[in-house]
């Protein structure tokens, strides 16, 4: 019908161009967008180390299992405070170095400092009076937690500006925005692979022999070596990106927003003005992270306790389970990286991002529920070695059980790729169409990530202690993933098309969102 109407009354050629021609493409070359996306490697390398080796390590230092989740509160707390402030001020930063780069550099220097604190926590704790033989080393734990919290602060300082920088370079070009975030997901997976490989290797400290000291055993030296590598990787990537990709200084007259309320005030002001599409994106994202966070926090502990059967965190079999879990995370990241390269094709196959996100969330729910099945398989096939003193030490699980656990990790790579890409793509597109600042818009989306993390940090430890083990929190996560899938399929709108309507029509459409 549209072609018939067009054939009946054709406008003059110049009039046609004046009314429907897309705006001039002011986006940067894709190579620069990809260069900024590489920063995800360093960011995720650190996250992977936290998830792979730090949860077990802090328990080895003597922290009870139920208190570990409270240590992880630093992530969501810093996310709620840091991300809005960074988003607000990076949108308005008039530094001659650009809007985003000063925050990226500051975050990198913070990561370097925190990596030294975490890596040298045992040595510092010993110098402060901790006994190396003590089961509980409070001074070491205190130094470790300070470094741990600074890392989360620094990563929140880095992540928001990196994603906003990608959107800035895309300059409202939706296909480049999608491609930029797809590459960000790919490099996130690469960072996960590197971090998980470093955490699972065992003996990586041999590359830096000086890391092993009288106060720092082999496991501790592995932690130290990994974080020294993390600092070096982050410094190298940021140096290349900041040197190669320049930003035009923001003039005060170009500032985004309508006032100077400050980050938190501007955040709540922006929340009051959100339209329906962004609210649905926030809701789907929040249930998505209710599902993910217990698994991300406790997956290596689950391998050590439920799958490998360790009864004490200092048993050899527990360390073997942690290393197997790190291998699982590496497989997960490999699948996520491969999936990120095909996100466009997957979205087209499912007729849009909303359907892809919804279906994959049901896959996430199924995988989290299957952790119960794998744990029961491991329990029923458990074998023990009996020592001369009668102590029964669990042996590693049978090959079939380990294969089933690693398969779960691998399949979860697809939902993780979607979680790292689609929410940020949709939020960036909706905020760009509405003329909102990318930094503050992504800070709003970050609320849907950190609030579930905060709730699960408060609840999962006592919940696991009440019912025993890690599985209860995983089951809650499965239910949350199913809810996220339903919300995505039934209520999430599709993003607006890329430069296909006149400016006046686009403005009216956005105002109704």
Task: Provide the pairing of β-strand 392-394 with 384-386.
Answer: antiparallel
Torsion of CA 36, 334, 338, 307, to 10 degrees: -130
Residue identified by tokens 């073997």 is 320
The sign of the dihedral angle between the CA atoms of 298, 303, 304, 309 is positive
With helix as H, strand as E and coil as C, how does 406-424 read?
A: HHHHHHCHHHHHHHHHHHH
HSE at residue 43, side-chain half, CA atoms within 13 A, is: 28
pLDDT, residue 464, reads 67
Which CATH fold would you assign to the domain 27-250+262-379+393-512?
Growth Hormone; Chain: A; (1.20.1250)
pLDDT, residue 370, reads 97
Q: Give Rg (Cα) of the chain.
A: 24
CA 55 → CA 142, 196, 197, distances in Å?
15, 13, 16
Give Cα 346 distance to the centre of its chain.
21
Q: What is the rounded distance in angstroms from the CA atom of residue 430 to the CA atom of residue 162?
A: 18
CA angle at 137 for the pair 136 and 143, rounded to the nearest 5°? 140
- Give bridge partners of residue 394 from the DSSP assignment: 384
Other beta carbons less than 10 A from residue 198's beta carbon: 24
Which residues, 6 or more positions from 258, have their beta carbon under 8 angstroms from its beta carbon? none
Where are the domains positioned within the chain?
A: 27-250+262-379+393-512
The sign of the dihedral angle between the CA atoms of 87, 91, 94, 95 is positive
pLDDT, residue 266, reads 61
Contact yes or no for 377/401 (Cβ under 8 A):
yes
pLDDT, residue 378, reads 95
Which residues, 6 or more positions from 329, have their beta carbon under 8 angstroms from its beta carbon? 48, 51, 52, 192, 196, 199, 200, 299, 300, 409
Long-range contacts, 245-249 (Cβ 8 Å, 24+): 245/28, 245/32, 245/35, 245/36, 245/165, 245/169, 246/98, 247/97, 247/98, 247/99, 247/100, 247/101, 247/165, 247/168, 248/98, 249/94, 249/95, 249/96, 249/97, 249/98
Three-state DSSP state, 203: coil
Residue (of 34, 33, 159, 182) closest to 104 by Cα position: 159
- Give bridge partners of residue 393 from the DSSP assignment: 385
Contact yes or no for 110/203 (Cβ under 8 A):
no
**Six-digit token string for 242:** 């900041």
Give Cα 301 distance to the centre of its chain.
19
Which residues, 6 or more positions from 451, have their beta carbon under 8 angstroms from its beta carbon? 76, 80, 286
Contact yes or no for 398/239 (Cβ under 8 A):
no
Torsion of CA 497, 158, 290, 293, to 10 degrees: 130
Residue 503: is it exposed, middle or buried by C-beta count within 10 angstroms (0-12/13-18/19+)? exposed
CA 222 → CA 52, 152, 204, 225, 366, distances in Å?
12, 20, 6, 5, 34
pLDDT by position in tens, the chain (length 513): 444 433 334 444 443 333 333 445 578 899 999 999 999 999 989 988 887 777 778 777 777 766 776 777 776 777 777 777 888 788 888 888 888 999 999 999 999 999 999 999 889 988 888 776 777 788 888 888 899 889 888 888 888 899 889 988 988 788 888 889 889 989 988 998 888 788 777 788 899 999 998 888 888 899 899 999 999 999 999 999 999 998 888 775 554 444 445 555 666 666 677 778 888 999 999 999 999 988 988 898 899 999 999 888 778 888 899 889 888 988 998 999 899 888 888 888 888 888 999 999 999 999 999 999 999 999 999 988 887 666 788 889 999 999 999 999 999 999 999 998 899 888 887 776 555 566 777 778 888 888 888 887 777 667 767 777 788 889 999 999 999 999 999 998 877 665 333 333 333 322 222
Other beta carbons less than 10 A from residue 386's beta carbon: 9
Residue (of 284, 296, 119, 135) closest to 213 by Cα position: 119
């Amino acid at each position: 019908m549209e072609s018939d109407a067009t054939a009946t009354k054709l406008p003059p050629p110049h009039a046609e161009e004046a009314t429907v021609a897309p705006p001039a493409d002011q986006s940067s070359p894709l190579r620069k967008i990809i260069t900024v996306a590489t920063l995800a490697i360093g960011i995720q390398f650190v996250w992977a180390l936290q998830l792979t080796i730090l949860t077990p390590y802090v328990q080895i230092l003597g922290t009870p299992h139920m208190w570990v989740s409270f240590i992880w509160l630093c992530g969501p707390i810093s996310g709620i405070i840091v991300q809005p402030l960074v988003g607000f001020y990076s949108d308005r930063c008039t530094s001659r170095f650009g809007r985003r780069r000063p925050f990226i550099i500051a975050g990198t220097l913070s990561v370097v400092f925190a990596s030294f604190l975490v890596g040298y926590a045992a040595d510092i704790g010993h110098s402060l009076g901790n006994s190396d033989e003590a089961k509980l080393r409070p001074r070491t734990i205190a130094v470790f937690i300070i470094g741990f919290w600074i890392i989360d602060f620094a990563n929140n300082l880095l992540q928001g500006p990196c994603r906003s920088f990608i959107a800035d370079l895309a300059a409202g070009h939706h296909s480049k925005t999608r491609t930029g975030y797809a590459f960000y997901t790919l490099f996130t997976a690469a960072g996960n692979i590197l971090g998980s490989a470093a955490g699972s290797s065992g003996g990586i400290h041999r590359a830096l022999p000086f890391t092993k000291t009288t106060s720092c055993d082999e496991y501790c030296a592995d932690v130290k070596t990994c974080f020294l590598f993390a600092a070096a990787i982050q410094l190298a990537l940021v140096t290349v990106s900041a040197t190669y990709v320049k930003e035009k200084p923001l003039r005060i007259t170009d500032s985004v927003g309508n006032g100077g309320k400050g980050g938190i005030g501007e955040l709540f002001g922006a929340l009051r003005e959100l339209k329906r599409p962004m609210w649905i994106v926030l809701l789907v994202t929040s249930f998505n992270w209710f599902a993910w966070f217990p698994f991300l926090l406790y997956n290596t502990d689950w391998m050590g306790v439920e799958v490998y059967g360790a009864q004490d965190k200092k048993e050899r079999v527990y360390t073997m389970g942690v290393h197997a879990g790190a291998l699982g995370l590496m497989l997960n990241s490999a699948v996520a990286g491969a999936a990120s390269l095909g996100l466009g094709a997957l979205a087209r196959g499912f007729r849009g991002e909303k359907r892809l996100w919804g279906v994959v969330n049901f896959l996430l729910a199924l995988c989290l529920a299957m952790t119960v099945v794998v744990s029961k398989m491991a329990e029923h096939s458990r074998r023990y070695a009996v020592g001369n003193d009668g102590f029964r030490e669990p042996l590693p699980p049978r090959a079939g059980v380990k294969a089933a656990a690693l398969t779960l990790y691998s399949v979860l790579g697809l939902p993780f790729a979607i979680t790292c890409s689609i929410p940020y793509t949709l939020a960036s597109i909706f905020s760009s169409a509405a003329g909102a600042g990318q930094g503050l818009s992504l800070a709003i989306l970050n609320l849907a990530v950190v609030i579930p993390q905060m709730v699960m940090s408060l609840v999962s430890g006592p919940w696991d202690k009440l019912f025993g083990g890690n599985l209860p929190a995983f089951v809650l996560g499965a239910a949350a993933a199913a809810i996220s899938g339903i919300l995505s399929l039934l209520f999430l709108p599709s993003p607006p098309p890329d430069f296909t309507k006149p400016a006046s029509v686009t403005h009216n459409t956005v105002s109704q969102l």
